[in-house]
Amino acid sequence: MAKQVLMYGNTAIGEAAIRAGCQCYFGYPITPQNELTEYMATHLGRRKGCAFVQAESEVSAINMVYGASAAGVRVMTSSSSPGISLKQEGISYLAACQLPAVIVNMSRGGPGLGSIIAAQSDYLQSTRGGGHGDYRTIVLAPASVQELADLTHEAFDLTEKYRIPVLILGDGMLGQMMEPVVFKHKAPKKPPVRKDALRGAKNRKSKIIKTFTSNPAELEEINWSLFRRYQMLESKEVRHETYMTDDANLVVCSFGISARIAKGAINAVRASGLKVGLFRPITAWPFPYEAVKKLTNNIDHFLVFEMNMGQMLEDIRFGVGERGDVSFYGRPGGVIPTPSEVARVITRHYYQKGL
């Protein structure tokens, strides 16, 4: 087995990206993800044939991503909530041109400049496209430093396979904490380059990557083609985790760091005999609606817990439909609830529902 190392979530993303063959990184500093930018500056910037650029703004960084992706290399950018908002125009363009890219959001409290503390208030922005136009991005929501590393690696494969930008939806806490992590892959000697890269039209017809067309029918076909791929993703790439749901009367639904806090709470209430389980989407888009629906065969009560005012709540409600009741508990703004606080909420809920 590869060696365990103690790493920050932020730096683990950087290392995983390099090992996945990421050749270019463009970023602009923002707390709480600066360690990632710093890591790429020292570790990617020094690699032969690789490029690190601290851009003059987030908008500039995402457009550099666009350019590098068109040139066929594996490319990543990262930021935190307000910075990700600035990148949305570029993400929409990437989606339109079907250019692969990995975008990391170590989210923090909002709205506005908000705070520098971890929050989960970017769920809807992330899972509904984020920018203008009809599009989606693949959204991966890790809950530990190990998973951050694993999913970052996979993100590079997914984005190339489906030609859809992949967003890694982490949070400030995951980025700032250290945990043991194992890297399962070695960095490639030479980073891979896509075959369809724009690198001069010698011996072939010239090709243009652009997002504008004045012919609505043509644009409609582009949209259809994107949505056919989204349907494929919805059937093939949906991932989730369940924990102790087999005998559960109540299932707590959470993603990312809050799922972890919820798990601690569930362990605590299980110790006093309450039959409670956990549902956690790993792909926040495509969302595991079918898995939620399946849970409703045996379970009537769902409690959504998020560090926001109820965003994934919409997806859980959609998945549960009329087959169960859905309640919500959330703390927005960067307040990080403790497992014992969530355990109290679960217990109260459990008895109020007469379970």
Partner 1 sequence: MLFKTIFSGFGGQGVLSMGLNLAQAGMLEGKKVTYLPAYGAEMRGGTANCTVAISDEEIASPVASSPDFLVAMNFPSLVRFQNQVQSGGIFFLNSSLMEAEISRGDVDIVEVPANDLAEELGNLKCANMVMIGAFVKKTNLVSIDTLIKGLEDSFKKKKKLIPLNKKALKSGYGLF
Judged by CB under 8 A, does residue 336 bind partner 1? yes
Compute how many residues bind partner 1; rule: CB under 8 A: 24
Site for partner 1 in 115-174 (CB under 8 A): 116-117, 172-173
- The least distance separating partner 1 from the CB of residue 183, rounded to whole angstroms, comes to 15
Nearest alpha-carbon partner for 58 in 98, 20, 104: 104
Beta-bridge partners for 311: none
Quote the least distance from Cβ 265 to partner 1, whole Å. Answer: 7
Q: State which of positions 267-296 bind partner 1 (CB under 8 A).
A: 267
Binds partner 1 (CB under 8 A): choice among 42, 264, 298, 325: 264
Q: Residue 86 half-sphere exposure, CB side, CA atoms within 13 Å? A: 21
Q: How far is the CB of 3 from partner 1 (least distance, A)?
A: 11
Nearest Cα residue to 52 out of 96, 85, 84, 17: 17
Which residues are CB-neighbours of 327 under 8 A, at least 6 positions away?
A: 301, 302, 303, 304, 349
Please identify, using beta-carbon distances, which residue of 150 and 315 lies nearer to partner 1.
150
Both structure tokens of 207: 């090709």
Residue in 18, 95, 233, 265 binding partner 1, rule: CB under 8 A: 265
Residues of span 164-223 touching partner 1 by CB under 8 A: 172-173, 176-180
Least spacing, CB of residue 118 vs partner 1, in Å: 10
- Per CB under 8 A, the list member of 24, 95, 248, 261 interacting with partner 1 is 261
Handedness of CA 207, 210, 211, 212 (dihedral sign): negative
List the one residue out of 338, 20, 9 whose CA is nearest residue 166.
Answer: 20
CA 234 to chain centre: 16
Site residues, partner 1 (CB under 8 A): 4, 6, 31-32, 116-117, 172-173, 176-180, 260-265, 267, 336, 338-340
